[in-house]
Structure 1
Amino acid sequence: MTEAAKIVSECFSAGLDYPIMDYISGLWAETEPDVDDDPVNTFIRPLLETEAVPEMDVERVCAALQALWEKQTGAVVERKPQVLEKALDMRRAEHLSKKQTIVSAVDIASVVKARDTQVNLKALEKAEAKIVAKMQKRDRKNAYEGSKLMDAHKAQKSYEELFLEVNPLQSPSANKGKSKDIHLENIDVNFGSLRILSNATLTLPMDGDRAGLIGRNGIGKSTLLRAMALREVAIPQHISILYVQQEVIGDETPAIESVLQADVHRTRLMAEEAELNALLQSMEEADAKAEKEGVKVEEDEQKDKKRNRKADDATARLGEVQKLLVEIDADSGPSRAAELMAGLGFSASDQLMPTKAFSGGWRMRISLARALFCKPDLLLLDEPSNNLDLNALAWLEDYLQTWPSTLFVVSHDRAFLDAVATDIIHQHNERLDYYKGNFKQFYATKSERAKQQRREYDSQLQYRQHLQAFIDRWRYNANRAAQAQSKIKILEKLPELTPPEEDDVVTFKFIETEKISPPLLQLSEVAFGYTKDKPLLAGVNIDVSLDSRLGLIGANGAGKSTLMKLLIGELNPTSGQQSRNGRLRIAYFAQHHIDSLDLTVNSVAFLAKMFPGKTEQEYRQHLGAFGITGMTSLQLIGTLSGGQKSRVSFATLSLQRPHILLLDEPTNHLDIEGLDALMAALKVWNGGVIVISHDSTFLHTVCNELWVCADRKVEKFYGDVTEYKNIIVNNAKNKPT
């Protein structure tokens, strides 16, 4: 019982109804009471007055409760005269008081329901509304804290601590012959209060197989990977795990040294080897020095044995450490790290630069190189293609095709999954479905399964309808009643029929633009450089029309985004000519487009702020054309997933009614359904499109021309994306080491 409840119970020996006591106890049990509340004067005092409590007792209890409330909240509530909401018949009140004095207790529910009640219903409604709001606030807080459990857990431990906790040092020879397959049944995975998997079966293929995990945005794919990385699901201890999730922290450590340090076992074993060698060398030097100087060291037998034992132990441990270093191929570490970094686009000079000198995208490449260098038994990759250009992606696809261990990767890039995956796992409806083959084979198999399930459903439905029709026709016919009863029994024994799951269809629709006369946008012999001594682009000639579908490809840093900024007029060329139609409107989707969104408002309010003059229904209808439907349009933008934020950005671009769309990496956060919708919308839109992308499927579907940025030039490539990637891979293989 709370202190407030004790005060009330001591003042009223007859006791009050339990709803009143529960309410008073609940107010003072709140962990975060609302300072602005005045529960004593707005609810408790009127309620006690209706209970026929003597005025002196009411004042005494209210004064005690008021003091307790001010002590708990730290606020001082001024007592103001209470204004009656309606005229009160005092004679009727006196009669009611006499009647209630006879009754020892009052049923609060019946009082509230009574027609002539004296309870302040508005005060009661207000108090209950505040309790509901507090409960909802507490639930939201609990859900938020639950969603941050993983980050809090990781924040408490360093990379080395987590690595050693998840992957204790074990001799490779000791684990030889042990199965590396993973088969876990009846697993549950939650994200705060959200259920991700329920009684699901997780099966990963043996060494050398590569599984791709796919599913809608927000379904919980990354959550599953993090749970596996921390062994929150029961993966066997002899299987080493490494999860690439976030960029490395920038500091003074050289990039290649950061990659070498990622293998904590190698780093610690090499450090221990150096310490043991130094210890043995110091002991040998001490003996040699003593012998050279002719000094006889007087030692008792016990000290001599202890010294010899220490030397023997150090020698034995040194042998164990060196054996482990040989088994993990530690000597080849620097060359393997350099090869990995070169494949990911780091030059020899880049590899020696400190990690703090790199941008976020390049730090993600370092993180990827660290994971590949460690060679874990189970490598977990979360959207590895998002931070890679087409050159690095082509190298990574080729590299992973010969990955010797098990790979589990989340990706929405179909070309990447076609090149890398040997199995596809589809996460949906709190379960995992398994398909053999790459994404193309998955799509064909899934489509065939859906058709088969639909045929079986239609057949079963038709059979049931046939039985029901027979029953309805002959049920009350004396000659056929027995047959009808038999059909009823058959129908009752049939299992419940559920329709097959239908995939949600997502569609995008850009507002059509009006025609304007060419030329729209031209660059003639344009050159640009951020500094005069280092030109980035030179001799660029490009002509953009309403029919243009241009894809810009090339290595990061070659000038693709700079060319985009020249086209929109954010940058001015250092030489050459730039011509633009005076009526031309250009919409630009930046790679970091989220920075342009107001995360503190909902999508409808954001569009109303950017493009005023429409009704809420019109804004919601426009958002619906980009997959932001229902209550999602009324959620704060900051609470939306990355893919949903991208859809809001596309809806914003469409309202600009552009003639030309410039898209810089538009596919990074979209799921497969969103990508399909975007590709379909761009194909039928009547404006021009220029896109920077690493997604081969997107480039192949949307673009009819590819332009390569390399060596300060922007030139048309006469081939498709596959041919370009083959050239990149062959050049990397033929490049001298």
Structure 2
Amino acid sequence: MIQLTNLSKSFGGQTLFKNLNLKVTAHQKIGLIGRNGTGKSTLFKLILGEESYDEGEISIPKNYRIGTLRQHLEFSKPTVEEECAQVLPEDEQYNFYKIEKILFGLGFTAEDLQKDPLSFSGGYQIRINLAKLLATEPNMLLLDEPTNYLDLLSLRWLKQFIRDFDGEVILITHDREFMDAVTTHTMGIQRKGLFMVQGGTKKYYETLALQDETYEKTRLNQEKKRKELEEFIARNKARASTAALAQSKVKILEKMEEMDELESESSLSFRFNYKETPAKILFRAEDLGFGYDPEHPLFEHLTFALENGKTLAIIGKNGKGKSTLLNYIAGELPQQQGTLSFHPATAMVHFGQTNIERLNTKHTIIDEITSVDKKIGMAEVRAICGTMMFSGELADKKIEVLSGGERSRVMLGKIIATPANLLLLDEPTNHLDMQSIDSLCDAIDSFEGSTIMVTHSEMLLRRLADALIIFHKGGAEYFEGSYDDFLEKIGWEEEEGTVKPKKQKPKLDKKERKKRRTAIIEEKAREAKPSRDEIKFCEKRLEELEVLEEEQNSALEAASNSADNSAMIEHSKAVAETQTEIENLFERLEVATEALEEINAKYDEKLAELE
């Protein structure tokens, strides 16, 4: 297993991490999270030996193979099968069965194996690279955004592959649902070090919040103590009778560790600009059909209606026509078959990959937001820029210097500036980090109008979709119901026979269920009692000590003012003892709270199994 010891790395005077430590144990699957720019991808490069680190050590056992998914596309063989087989050891060069099994899992057909790798779309070329990685049978996988460019079926296959992988994994992805489904631990680069918990992202952020709260209380307590020492020294250093005592306080002050204020990270938080409409149905699609080749339409005979307030998700494999359908509804393609009937009050905005490419690279962010409507005042434009995390001078940056994620936020800003009751969103989560995706999800969820979105995110589908258009079986089909309804009632034909049937649990009658529920609740109460008692004791004692500390500080100040040396020494000692007890209690409180959370989670799972 690999081990990182006191690893430090800086770029251009900026410290990414310092004295970072990590030990990966057998079969750990770790999700690495953090805002863009915190050093996640750099950490991978250090482990792979592609970047040098400033200080520390990376220990990798002999013959331990680390594989990584390459985003750079470079192919040298005439067929997909030969391209992938070349990574095999020399004595296995013609073991095509091994290669075929992986390629079929990634969505390739038998015919595809003999095609030129360069004849495939970018998404499928990424999959070829993934197949080459998996064929090398590495001990550890370092996966940096492996979900990029993969469609739903490939994501579901990759999810199961990572779960079954008999080795270690460190995964970077902004897809929270995907990460939580495949990882055993979650870690993030926090305050230039690594912080890791066992469990998913929810547990990580809850634990981090508790640690931050404890840290802030300790920092404020230390700040108060530092101020008292400084005031004491200032009052007494000039007096001959108290100079020695003041000097001893100087030594205590010098030994006190500096605790910096926690930096708060900027977060995307916004609402779409809803335009009122009396419409119950925003538009109807009757017998729609379209294709770039008249003999092979991407979809045909597609009929559906969209109610105001509903979210329709378009899903399916890459290259089948999802974005084309969205562009067709947006009026960006010539009508071929059927009719689209919009209510007169329908006002739509379109977020698509082609729209992002149309951003004027010579414009500033402010220019782009202003271009939506010249009537928008500069104060409102600045407010929208701030909402999209471009506050102050950042709003004056030119589009040409922005990353993909930043350009996506500019496009979202333009949509916010436009009053609408119909959102057309094509892969809106691409390039956004995890917190920004959560904010986008919240904004769509609270939007009073309707949304049509193309997405491969099962998290978005499960949370937002009221109905679906599924590209499968050579066409497009409208489905009234949730994504889970679709999986249960229809499912992907490519997955037929590959999904293990769920074990049927014996049904419990109401009386037996109630009896078992009561037993579980009683067991939970017994196990949780020591932790609850500990938390109650710590909280009560902390309240008492806060009052006591104020009294002791007042007594110390009075002794100082009256130059009573013996009393000052006595009260100083008492204050120090009280502060030590407070710090110990905060540590006990944190341990007890974490233990209680684990107990609650364990018994919540048991109760859920009864349903």
The structure with the larger Rg is 1
Give the partner amino acid of 2:3. Answer: H
Q: 1:400 maps to what in 2?
A: 162
Distance in 1 (alpha carbons) for counterparts of 2:118 and 2:244:
85
Q: 667-676 vs 511-520, which deviates more? A: 511-520
Unpaired stretches in structure 1, ≥5 consecutive residues: 1-180, 270-324
Q: Following TM superposition, by how much is the alpha carbon of 1:574 offset from its aligned partner in structure 2, in angstroms?
A: 3.7
Distance in 1 (alpha carbons) for counterparts of 2:196 and 2:149:
28
Distance in 2 (alpha carbons) for counterparts of 1:709 and 1:399:
24
Q: Following TM superposition, by how much is the alpha carbon of 1:418 offset from its aligned partner in structure 2, in angstroms?
A: 0.7
CA 1:260–1:594 in 2, change beyond 3 Å: closer, same or farther?
A: farther
- Aligned residue among 457, 462, 469 for 1:700: 462
CA 1:626–1:720 in 2, change beyond 3 Å: closer, same or farther?
A: same
CA 1:201–1:597 in 2, change beyond 3 Å: closer, same or farther?
A: same
Give the partner amino acid of 2:496. Answer: N
- Aligned residue among 381, 385, 394 for 2:147: 385
Verify the 8 A CA contact 1:457 1:500 in the aligned structure 2.
no
Verify the 8 A CA contact 1:185 1:200 in the aligned structure 2.
yes
Q: Following TM superposition, by how much is the alpha carbon of 1:433 offset from its aligned partner in structure 2, in angstroms?
A: 2.2
Q: 1:423 maps to what in 2?
A: 185
Structure 2 length-normalised TM: 0.71
Taking the TM superposition and a 5 Å limit, the aligned residue runs for 1:288-687 are 325=91, 330=92, 333-461=95-223, 494-614=256-376, 616-687=378-449
Verify the 8 A CA contact 1:252 1:356 in the aligned structure 2.
no
- Aligned residue among 188, 193, 196 for 2:8: 188
Q: 2:82 maps to what in 1?
A: 257
Q: 651-660 vs 711-720, which deviates more? A: 711-720
- Same amino acid, percent of matched pairs: 29
Give the partner amino acid of 1:201. Answer: L
Q: Following TM superposition, by how much is the alpha carbon of 1:424 offset from its aligned partner in structure 2, in angstroms?
A: 2.1
CA 1:346–1:465 in 2, change beyond 3 Å: closer, same or farther?
A: same
CA 1:348–1:545 in 2, change beyond 3 Å: closer, same or farther?
A: same
Give the partner amino acid of 2:20. Answer: T
Give the partner amino acid of 2:309. Answer: D
Distance in 2 (alpha carbons) for counterparts of 1:429 and 1:380:
23
Q: Number of aligned pairs?
A: 491
Q: Following TM superposition, by how much is the alpha carbon of 1:457 offset from its aligned partner in structure 2, in angstroms?
A: 3.5
RMSD: 3.5
Q: Following TM superposition, by how much is the alpha carbon of 1:376 offset from its aligned partner in structure 2, in angstroms?
A: 2.1
Verify the 8 A CA contact 2:4 2:23 in the aligned structure 1.
no
Q: Following TM superposition, by how much is the alpha carbon of 1:245 offset from its aligned partner in structure 2, in angstroms?
A: 2.9
CA 1:506–1:576 in 2, change beyond 3 Å: closer, same or farther?
A: closer
Distance in 2 (alpha carbons) for counterparts of 1:227 and 1:482:
52
Distance in 2 (alpha carbons) for counterparts of 1:527 and 1:706:
17
Distance in 2 (alpha carbons) for counterparts of 1:382 and 1:704:
32
Give the partner amino acid of 1:517. Answer: A
CA 1:710–1:417 in 2, change beyond 3 Å: closer, same or farther?
A: same
Q: Following TM superposition, by how much is the alpha carbon of 1:734 offset from its aligned partner in structure 2, in angstroms?
A: 6.0
- Aligned residue among 29, 33, 44 for 1:214: 33
Give the partner amino acid of 1:255. Answer: V
Q: 1:114 maps to what in 2?
A: none
Distance in 2 (alpha carbons) for counterparts of 1:612 and 1:438:
46
Distance in 1 (alpha carbons) for counterparts of 2:10 and 2:428:
30
Q: Following TM superposition, by how much is the alpha carbon of 1:638 offset from its aligned partner in structure 2, in angstroms?
A: 2.1
Distance in 2 (alpha carbons) for counterparts of 1:407 and 1:246:
18
Instruction: Give CA deviations for 1:483-521 in whole Å, capped at 9, x if unaligned.
Output: 999888766654334334434333123223232434321
SS of 2:111 mapped into structure 1:
helix
Verify the 8 A CA contact 1:426 1:434 in the aligned structure 2.
yes
Instruction: Give CA deviations for 1:691-710 in whole Å, capped at 9, x if unaligned.
Output: 11122223333334444332
Q: 1:151 maps to what in 2?
A: none
Distance in 2 (alpha carbons) for counterparts of 1:626 and 1:703:
25
Instruction: Give CA deviations for 1:400-421 in whole Å, capped at 9, x if unaligned.
Output: 1121232222111111111112
Distance in 2 (alpha carbons) for counterparts of 1:603 and 1:378:
41
Matched, 1:713 2:476: yes
- Aligned residue among 51, 55, 59 for 1:232: 51
Q: Following TM superposition, by how much is the alpha carbon of 1:571 offset from its aligned partner in structure 2, in angstroms?
A: 3.1
Give the partner amino acid of 1:186. Answer: N
Q: Following TM superposition, by how much is the alpha carbon of 1:662 offset from its aligned partner in structure 2, in angstroms?
A: 0.9
Distance in 1 (alpha carbons) for counterparts of 2:181 and 2:359:
35
Higher fraction of strand = 2
Distance in 2 (alpha carbons) for counterparts of 1:459 and 1:610:
50
Distance in 2 (alpha carbons) for counterparts of 1:201 and 1:546:
51
Q: 2:66 maps to what in 1?
A: 241
Distance in 2 (alpha carbons) for counterparts of 1:215 and 1:560:
31
Q: Following TM superposition, by how much is the alpha carbon of 1:688 offset from its aligned partner in structure 2, in angstroms?
A: 1.5
Q: Following TM superposition, by how much is the alpha carbon of 1:614 offset from its aligned partner in structure 2, in angstroms?
A: 4.5
Q: Following TM superposition, by how much is the alpha carbon of 1:429 offset from its aligned partner in structure 2, in angstroms?
A: 4.3
Unpaired stretches in structure 2, ≥5 consecutive residues: 53-57, 501-611
Distance in 2 (alpha carbons) for counterparts of 1:480 and 1:724:
79
Give the partner amino acid of 1:669. Answer: H
Structure 1 length-normalised TM: 0.60
Distance in 1 (alpha carbons) for counterparts of 2:168 and 2:153:
24
Q: 2:568 maps to what in 1?
A: none
